Chains A and B, each alone.
Chain A
């Protein structure tokens, strides 16, 4: 007996079987394990929020065996953690941005029951998106599929079995999000090269304010001790109006400029002090890491 539903069902099971070659379980927190996926030979990617310890991390590989893993680095901002294992593993091909409405499967693994799958559709896709954790995703990919405990870090695939990204429940309250494959690539590159993702840093606390004639600016409310802004001679009470020639009205405008510059570069900060405009050169620093 053949019917379209049965053949769709069989196709979906094949996609899961194929993606299962890459899916691992990650044991790096109490109670629930999470999922992860081989991204490159010997390199596994998972969701950073599920990694609660830096040592004694193990993974359950696609063949069901457990292996020790070392933490190569993490990026809280994009919720990505990179692990290294001895086994090479199989990385899936990746795909360009999906369309809203495309079917998607999140494929993870647990030690007890092996590979697991959950299905739904891509519910929204937009351009570059800054997460509440401060990182930037190349696309916002919202998932209309149920993420269960242990699903974070699962690889999200299309019906051809290509990786759309890595599933996480920690970046949005209303839905699961796929961290896009291109963002994962970028973060993995940086972590493997330097052990971390550095973020530009000015060391200022800013508050948007209205200026005369409908102009907007950001008043400096606090200064990080010995931070780049303090060293450049910026004072509390200065009003920041431009950075590197770009007008800034919201703190996010500042983040966008600071991030696109590599750390160590000098940018010109336009400020208003005592009603007088002036320009100060600021050397962008590196955001101190929380321990």
Chain B
């Protein structure tokens, strides 16, 4: 018989702290294989190189191998021995009301645990067409990228965000699909929906948007759902109307869509 205590102890050994990017923000990650594959959020692993701290205090360098902004997932590779990978679960079989446990490094606490039940599973306004796991577990900045596990300790999700107080996790099945097939086509931008259109907050180095000369501050004149549908359509190019500075003059650019550049 195992309770939350045993489960959280096992999960802690599979949970790492990830620091990446200029701002050196902290997030969490899950050891996915004994050979050093670590899963985390795309918004945690922002750079090609990051630092990973294991549960026993060892610090190792991590290399970004794949990144999917739309699913908010990233794969890192580390070289270390004695890794204890998490057991993945089947998020497709998860039901509302099931007990779940989240482990991560919120607000600088290492290996903090939070428990609750699955609130619902489904789409979220403004977060694309894929489904997300919503859980009434208490998450905080730093939980991002960490595991959400079921009552048997199997990882069913990667904690990603907090929406209206609810924990939001990317389903483990989306994570395995990401690892098998690679990232979904993406513009390589951070967007904020506004009444006018989609405001570009940030443009990724080497992404499709940068190649198409889009800049932060530009406003894309396309609804988010249409943009996602266009990205999923399998087309090689995408014609995008946008505004820059002058709100009366609509400009246009052609974005070449390719799977997101993988850091070498």
Contact residues of A with B, CB < 8 Å?
Answer: 1, 3-6, 8-10, 12-17, 20, 105, 110, 112-119, 145-146, 148-149
Contacts and interface: CB of A to CB of B under 8 A. Distances in A.
Given A114-B122, A119-B116, A146-B136, A3 B152 contact: yes
A148 B136 CA distance: 9
Contacts of A17: 95-97
Interface string B116-134: 1111111111000001001
Interface stretch (B1-9, B182-190, B231-239): B1-9
A202 to B, nearest CB: 43
Please report whether the interface of chain A is mostly helix, strand, loop or mixed according to DSSP. mixed
Contact of A9 (B98, B134, B166): B98
B129 to A, nearest CB: 11
B98 A12 contact: yes
Contacts of A15: 97
B126 to A, nearest CB: 11
B79 interface: no
Given A3-B2, A4-B3, A148-B165, A113 B95 contact: no
B260 interface: no
B181 to A, nearest CB: 25
A61 to B, nearest CB: 16
21 contacts: A4-B3, A5-B1, A5-B7, A5-B99, A5-B151, A8-B99, A8-B151, A9-B151, A12-B99, A13-B95, A13-B118, A15-B97, A20-B96, A105-B117, A112-B122, A113-B121, A117-B117, A117-B120, A118-B117, A119-B117, A148-B165
A113 B120 contact: yes
Contacts of B120: 110, 113-117
A193 to B, nearest CB: 36
A12 B7 contact: no
A113 B97 contact: no
B228 to A, nearest CB: 15
B213 interface: no
B150 interface: yes
B96 A115 contact: yes
Nearest to A118: B136
Most chain B CB neighbours (cut-off 10 Å) among A20, A116, A149 = A116
Contact of B118 (A20, A117, A146): A117
A5 B100 CA distance: 10
B33 to A, nearest CB: 21
A112 B134 CA distance: 12
A112 B124 contact: yes
B164 interface: yes
Contact of B96 (A6, A117, A145): A117
Most chain B CB neighbours (cut-off 10 Å) among A115, A118, A145, A149 = A118
Interface residues of B, number: 29
Interface of B: 1-4, 7, 95-99, 116-125, 131, 134, 136, 150-152, 164-166
A117 B100 CA distance: 12
Nearest to B95: A13
A119 B97 CA distance: 8
Most chain A CB neighbours (cut-off 10 Å) among B2, B124, B151 = B151
Nearest to A14: B97
B13 to A, nearest CB: 18
Contacts of A116: 96, 119-120, 134
Contacts of B98: 9-10, 12-13
B97 A13 contact: yes
Contacts of A146: 136, 165
A14 B2 CA distance: 21
B123 A105 contact: no
A8 B7 CA distance: 15
B102 to A, nearest CB: 14
A119 B3 contact: no
Contacts of A10: 98, 151
Contacts of B152: 1, 3, 5-6
A256 to B, nearest CB: 38
A148 B2 contact: no
B137 to A, nearest CB: 10
B99 A113 contact: no
A5 B4 contact: yes
- Closest A-B pairs by Cβ, 3 of them: A113-B122, A16-B97, A9-B151
Contacts of A117: 96-97, 117-120
Contact of A6 (B116, B118, B151): B151
Contacts of A3: 1-3, 151-152
Contacts of A118: 116-117, 119, 136
A12 B3 contact: no
A66 to B, nearest CB: 15
Given A15-B97, A117-B118, 12 more contacts: A3-B1, A6-B150, A6-B152, A13-B98, A16-B97, A20-B96, A113-B124, A113-B131, A113-B134, A117-B117, A119-B117, A148-B166
A35 to B, nearest CB: 11
Nearest to A110: B120
